Structure 1
């Protein structure tokens, strides 16, 4: 039986597909811009580090845009907000594809990143709201699946298009995917109204919760370990492993397969024991990262480790679900903030790895630095766990709320 606010059961799968398509477009846009960097630099006749400002601008757009859009759009129905965000993504990527100069490209990439976190936040909340509570994390992981599949299919395809037709076509494809996403969401998502008591102030009140900040800390620090290794993986394959050119995209695809498998497993586990799943994921990832340096000189040992490192990305579905629990009255802002935290990790990880390499420890040592970052995330997880248990004991002792 359905209501006016719930789509028919046979539409649920298609709705999740539509939401995942938006995630696929975002993932392709974010990661393909890195692989297309040499072609962008050549087109504008600048150095790659200078062209790299476009990538930094995207990350900055995510960090700033996610909370801003979620606070300002809290009174909008989720379907309308998602359609607007998908359209925004399409327009910004289309503008990026026709940028006449590097400064304009940097500006348009900043705009492209602006709706990134907000889209994920709203899409995951919508998916979670349409399934029973014990299946929320799996619904969230289905949306995030679009991003992980982008690392396997979308990024290589956009890179190939960029190599053969020009980098602008790679971003133009993203614009087309975003437009299709907007149409599908408009047709498939339920027309549910915004919450009656929703307000920017109530959303901002979530920032007073220590559990929210601890969860964001787990993402910002713990995820940094994966980015620390992934950023320098291609260089490691070339300079240390001495892999052939053919094997580099293959290993990158193995990482993408790992992210997809890890996402599905972590989504399943989080529905059963969210915090336990987070701790196990962090501990396992730290162990694999610590083993990484010893395997960098052997391709066939390295490949399975890269797969398992990719599995660590499944932590995203767990933390997204955790924020739904610790910020029940500000889920929109919390959902967007976790995307900002992931982009903080995307800045911290490469920075730490670069410092290790610059200090003369070599590319393999990024694994040790990555393991240390992930253990830092595990420490934040333990702090969050103890803090939550302490709060529960206080409630038991003082059920009326007095202390």
Structure 2
């Protein structure tokens, strides 16, 4: 594999770290900036909205840009956004920094797969994409707990400074290693893009994605306060628990991909959404016990992101059937849907914390995951009626 691919992987690692590390820093930021927990949690939501806007809109607007120059521009914006977060004098300025960083994130993952496949021969394309996305998994396993630890010991600003340094290294690596003459597919015409937005079957998948992630992030956004206030863990223990969670996520991602291959996306998603519903319901009762909370969080991680392969495979299969000239756009919109789910789940979690209790975020998240399960089964039934073989081995 070319060295340029590892520059992309480092970029994915830095971006994944800055997206999710905020979860472990919510109480720290709330105390330092003297804002409420829901206000600090809103930083998760606004970042996700930045990604949701950036993925489809900016990807479409930059469709004719040279891929390398676009990549370097995105990483420069990413570094700038994290430097602004490091020096943010107020809560409002931190919001601006997070939104800017989210915009860069959205476009990066929309074009990242195309760039990765441009670097290798055709028979190695899938491996190239897998290597690039390894950066996200490694971020959850190591970047997020390490960033949480740095934030708790040296201040949350130090975390953003470290992440911006990683982004700068990735930017330099991309500038030196990524070739200029990357292959570039024809951008989808406006009419073709519009077909994706109005296609009912694709909208159903986006709803599955939004509900699936919304259920998880209703509670996950406030995991650090839950572990401190409900379970009784010290702030120093949060980073270690996030490490355990990240390892579980890494295993769950691999398992989720194999499950989607073996059983097809609908059956795989049925299993995962069913498990998420039960786990979040259980968390409502186990969060008051240290042992019960850690065990539940460990199992939760195994399923929380395991739906990604199934959802991505499913949306591509349906796009190939209904909007064959805009498959990339359909895939990009699913990335937006992931982040809309994160944003709405985080906002809902904040409302629940303000109006009810931290404990209520879990069972309400379970209800949302159950809704994702119902939509999944309905979509599968529509596949059967239309004789669409999305549930075959991929």
- TM class by smaller structure: 0.7 to 0.9
CA distance in 2 between partners of 1:304 and 1:139 (Å): 34
Of the three residues 183, 205, 223, the one matched with 1:233 is 223
Which is higher, the Rg of structure 1 or of structure 2? 1
1:102/1:286 CA distance change after superposition, 3 Å: closer
Shift in Å, 1:166:
4.3
1:369 aligns with 2:369: no
Alignment match, 2:339: 343
Of the three residues 384, 387, 393, the one matched with 1:389 is 384
Contact 1:285 1:308 in 2 (8 A): no
1:139/1:275 CA distance change after superposition, 3 Å: farther
Contact 1:134 1:271 in 2 (8 A): no
1:110/1:334 CA distance change after superposition, 3 Å: same
1:152 aligns with 2:152: no
How many pairs were matched up?
381
Deviations 1:288-315, CA, capped at 9 Å, x for gaps: 2233234233333332321221122121
1:45/1:250 CA distance change after superposition, 3 Å: closer
Contact 2:49 2:340 in 1 (8 A): no
Shift in Å, 1:348:
3.0
Shift in Å, 1:204:
3.3
1:307 aligns with 2:295: no
Alignment match, 1:323: 315
CA distance in 2 between partners of 1:359 and 1:107 (Å): 27
Name the SS of the counterpart of 2:183 in structure 1. Answer: coil
Name the SS of the counterpart of 2:374 in structure 1. Answer: helix
CA distance in 2 between partners of 1:73 and 1:291 (Å): 45
CA distance in 2 between partners of 1:202 and 1:249 (Å): 45
Contact 1:324 1:334 in 2 (8 A): yes
CA distance in 2 between partners of 1:105 and 1:200 (Å): 34
Question: Aligned ranges for residues 3-402 of structure 1 at < 5 Å?
Answer: 10-11=1-2, 14=3, 16-36=5-25, 54-127=43-116, 136=126, 140=129, 142-186=131-175, 187-188=177-178, 191-196=181-186, 198-272=188-262, 273-312=264-303, 313-327=305-319, 328-354=324-350, 360=356, 362-392=357-387
1:235/1:206 CA distance change after superposition, 3 Å: same
Contact 1:70 1:332 in 2 (8 A): no
Shift in Å, 1:128:
6.4
Shift in Å, 1:356:
5.1
CA distance in 1 between partners of 2:351 and 2:97 (Å): 30
CA distance in 1 between partners of 2:353 and 2:302 (Å): 25
1:102/1:249 CA distance change after superposition, 3 Å: closer
Contact 1:69 1:115 in 2 (8 A): no
Contact 2:76 2:171 in 1 (8 A): yes
Alignment match, 2:392: none
* Structure 1 unmatched runs, 5+: 1-9, 395-403
Contact 2:140 2:246 in 1 (8 A): yes
Name the SS of the counterpart of 2:184 in structure 1. Answer: coil
Alignment match, 1:3: none
1:81/1:201 CA distance change after superposition, 3 Å: farther
Deviations 1:15-51, CA, capped at 9 Å, x for gaps: 5543332222112222334544566566666666666
CA distance in 1 between partners of 2:352 and 2:29 (Å): 28
